Structures are given as C-alpha cells and as structure tokens.
Amino acid sequence: MIYSSVFNKEIFENAIKVLKEDCKISRGFTSQIVGTNSFSATTTSIITYVLSKLGSLSVEEKECLKQDILSFKINKKGFYYKSIGNEDSVTVWSTAQSCLALFEIGTNEDLFFDSIEWLCDVQSKDGGWSYNGKEDEISRIGYCLYTIIVLYKTTNKNSKVDNAINKAIHFIKNYNPKDTCEKIIKYYLLTLFKIEDRNKIQEREIVVDFINENVDELANYTIVEPGSGIHHFYVPWYVPGFYMFFRKFLEPDHPIVLFLMKWFSNNIIDRKGWSSDIHNKKIYSWATALSVLCINFWNMDCQRKSIKIKKLNDIEVIKEQMLKIMEDNSMPIYMSVCPLNGGKCNLRKKIELEYNDMNIFLDIPYQNSYLTYEKQIRATVRKSGLNVVIAKNRQKSDVLLCKVCQLIQTCKYGIADISEESLNIPFELGLMYGLGKPCAILKRKNSKQPSDVQGIEYIQYENTDEINNQLRDWIKDNVK
C-alpha cells in the first residue's frame, strides 16, 4: 500500500482492520452494513479481490476465501448472489466478479472453468450480457465489463471462449452508450484490450461530457447513474469505477480526479470506512473495500508521477476548475458533410487519431518568392511548441482537395497567407473559419487583398523579422 498526506497510513490500517475483522463472518464477508450477518458471493468476491490487490492476505487466508467463494457456485453453472441460492439466482454479475476474485488469489482455473463456459453460454445474441444472463433482458455494456475481463484472463481458452470474446468485441464496438458513464466504460474496454488505439478526441469529449452532465450537481455529491440518466448520491460503487477508468488518461491532479478524491476524503466515517451514500453514516463492507482500493491507486499514481498533493481544495474551487476545463477544451468541429460529394466523410476516425491540439495548418502560396517567408513561419511556429501541417504540391484535384480538408481537420489552429490571388487559399481559409479554428492571416505589404476576404483583420509584413515578431505575438494571444 502507498500512503500520502491526504490518505495516510492510519486510514488504510483502519479500513483493512474493518474488512478483515468486522466484516469477516463464517462464510465470506458481510454483504452490506458492518456488523450484520448477511453475505453474498458478490461482496465476498469484491472484498477478496481488494484485499489481495492490497497485499493484505496471507496464503492461508487466500485458501479459506477460495473455499468461501466456491461455495456459492452451482455445478456447470455460475455463482449465485444470495446467501442461499439455486439456479434461478445465478447471475452474470456475481459470476464474473467471483471468477475475477478467484483469478486474483491464484485459484486453479479448472475449479471454475465450467462457470466461465456458462458465461459464454448465456451471452446474448448481440454479443453482450444482461444482469441475469437471460435473453429477454437488455444487454448493457456495464455487465460486459467484468465478464470480458474474465474471458481474456482465461488461459484455458477453447473455441467457445474465443467465439464469445469475438462476439463481445463486436458488441462493444457497436454499442451506443446511453450516457457519459457508459461512454467511459466503452472507451476503457476498447483501449484496454487494444480493440482500438487511444483517441485523444474521444478522451476530451468524455471529460467535457462528464463535467457538463454533472457539474451542477457536484456540490450535492450526486452523479448520473450508468444507463439511467438519474442523479444519485455518489455511492462508492460508481466513484471508484470512474477513477479506475479515468486514471488511464487523466493525471492524478486533474480536477475531475481531485473531485472524486474529495468525495473519499469528505465521506470517510470515523477515519475507517465508507457508507453507501453521504446521508448514511453506517459503514458498508463493499463500499469500504472499493474505496480503499481506489485511494491506494491514486496514492500510487501520484507517487509514480511525482505529484505531491498535501491538501485537497474545497469542492467549489474544484468546480470552478472543472468549468475552466470546459471553457478551454471546446471540442474540435468536424465536417458533417463532405464538401466534394455531399456524403458522409469516411476519414473521420483517421482524422480523430491524427488530431493534435498543437497542430497548426499552414496555407501559403507555393512560389519561390515565398520560400524565405515559409521558412521563417516554420521556425517561429516550432519555437512556440506547435507542429506545422502543410499540403505541398496542390493541384486542382478532388483527391488532393480531400487531403487538404483532412489535414485542416487534424489541426486546432491555422495560418493563411492571402498575398496572392488564388482559388485555393480563400476556400481553405473558409474551411478553417467554418470549423472554428483560430487563424492568423498574413499579407505582404502592397499586395492586393482578395475580394473574398475583405474586412478580415490580418497581419501585414514586409520582411522575415516582421513575420517572426507579429506571428509570435498572435500565437501568444491565441494559442491555449
């Protein structure tokens, strides 16, 4: 375990003590409020997984918990979620979590491989899974989360498992998320299993959507429950999940992450456990397990990236920081219709992958008399930390025009020199303006201004020094 100023050794030791002493009963762990005798496969599996991840289980304890979890298993079926179960109470949710915990504590796969095959058998026709694994229920990406992780972890793969994975991949790729949470889960799975490469545009979209969807409720500690569209209290069932996903592409000091950590800091009960929501002051077993796992990952991420946070800001300060992110991270606009054929652009995915906030498209006459100016522009841009994107050797060709349109969409900014009369430059400048890209317009002194761009403010230059100085100032004022 890793400790920090925000979440110190005392908190971890107290939480582990609660889990191992106050929650452990004769068969697994208590499933809800600490001190009660109700138990289930789901909670026992969650706490077992967490304690093992934190290095808090001995070999003997792992063996005992292995037997506890396996006691919830029905032969040739999955795991039931209640203390007493039958085939009707077996669920995909409890089975996947039980298998995941058994993997974590090093259980021989043969002891539960029939349950893994059962997960394959109850996979829906669309490739997803429902809660109970019944065909008449709706498949949700949340129920795929643990299930597909289990299938990937399976070393004893056969054609049934391989086929289930392939169907699940198709389901995930084509799943239409109902809300931001489901977007996060989908993106997490796509990148975790390398189904698709990381996409910075999607990451920004998720961040902006998450803030936009929840920012007004932050002070009340509520969030949209996955798939429901309803605001609920920030039960730790969701909060740790969000951090587990966000930590793949957000820094530990990102305002969204700090808000989640603020929840943990503000809602710990007696410095030893967490409840199901902010109005319930009773410690819950699963909530405490998921919370302590999450803050350990955060402490670990801070240490790994040499980020030191001594104290978390007030929630209203964090809220302002999130609103600033929305302001600074407006999403790039893409062509909804191809200007060449009037149809849908089939390069959108490629454009998203190549897009970079530090790209700037350079549109300048390709004449020998402009080579010196082009060289200076490139030098000034590079010194500012930006990347020049340029389309050379343009001709009146639909294919090359498509290339230019594509390159413009991979950039956040633009530079256009309108010194020469040209059909291309006004068109490309119009594209940049239409796509909302801040654009520096250059014009040589004494050159005629094209009628297409009358009334637009521009930077006038006569030599390379003037280009350098004025363009540098424009970048300073416009590049964020």
Question: 242-277, pLDDT tens digit by residue?
Answer: 888 899 999 999 999 998 898 888 888 888 998 866
Q: Give the length of the chain.
A: 480
Nearest alpha carbon to residue 241 among 181, 152, 305: 181
Q: How confident is the model at residue 37 (pLDDT cuts 50, 70, 90)?
A: confident
Which position has the higher pLDDT, 115 or 277?
115
SS (H, E, C) 210-227: HHHHHHHHHHHCEEECCC
Which position has the higher pLDDT, 327 or 173?
173
Which positions ≥6 away from 290 have C-beta within 8 Å?
46, 50, 236, 237, 239, 240
Question: Does the pLDDT value for residue 198 go beyond 90?
Answer: no
pLDDT of res. 230: 47
Q: What angle do CA 242, 123, 188 make, to 5 degrees?
A: 25
Q: Please give the DSSP secondary-structure letter assigned to residue 33.
A: B
Hey, what are 62's tokens?
């792992």
**82-86, long-range: CB < 8 A, 24+ apart:** 82/40, 83/27, 83/31, 83/38, 83/39, 83/40
Question: Does the pLDDT value for residue 65 go beyond 90?
Answer: yes
pLDDT of res. 18: 95
Cβ 40 vs Cβ 94: under 8 Å = yes
Residue 194, Cβ neighbours under 10 Å: how many?
Answer: 8
**Overall average pLDDT of the 350-365 stretch:** 89
Taking the CA atoms of residue 182, residue 188, residue 190 and residue 193 in that order, the dihedral angle to the nearest 10 degrees is -140
**Overall average pLDDT of the 278-283 stretch:** 75
Q: What angle do CA 459, 460, 463 make, to 5 degrees?
A: 120
Q: How confident is the model at residue 451 (pLDDT cuts 50, 70, 90)?
A: low
Residues 319 and 235: their CA atoms lie apart, in Å, by 19
pLDDT of res. 301: 96
What are the backbone angles phi and psi of residue 444, rounded to the nearest 5°?
-70, 145
Q: How confident is the model at residue 452 (pLDDT cuts 50, 70, 90)?
A: low
Nearest alpha carbon to residue 332 among 358, 301, 366: 358
Question: Does the pLDDT value for residue 19 go beyond 90?
Answer: yes
Q: How confident is the model at residue 216 (pLDDT cuts 50, 70, 90)?
A: low
Cβ 233 vs Cβ 222: under 8 Å = yes
> Which residue reads 């309803």 in tokens?
230
Tens-digit pLDDT profile for residues 403-446:
888 899 999 999 999 888 877 788 888 889 888 899 999 999 88
pLDDT of res. 457: 82
Does residue 433 sit in helix, strand or coil?
helix
Residues 392 and 354: their CA atoms lie apart, in Å, by 18
Which positions ≥6 away from 407 have C-beta within 8 Å?
361, 389, 390, 391
Tens-digit pLDDT profile for residues 301-344:
999 999 999 999 888 888 888 888 877 766 667 787 887 777 87
pLDDT of res. 455: 61
pLDDT of res. 393: 45
pLDDT of res. 316: 84
Q: How confident is the model at residue 278 (pLDDT cuts 50, 70, 90)?
A: low
pLDDT of res. 84: 60
Q: How confident is the model at residue 126 (pLDDT cuts 50, 70, 90)?
A: very high
Mean per-residue pLDDT over the chain, rounded: 86
Q: How confident is the model at residue 394 (pLDDT cuts 50, 70, 90)?
A: very low
Residues 341 and 336: their CA atoms lie apart, in Å, by 12
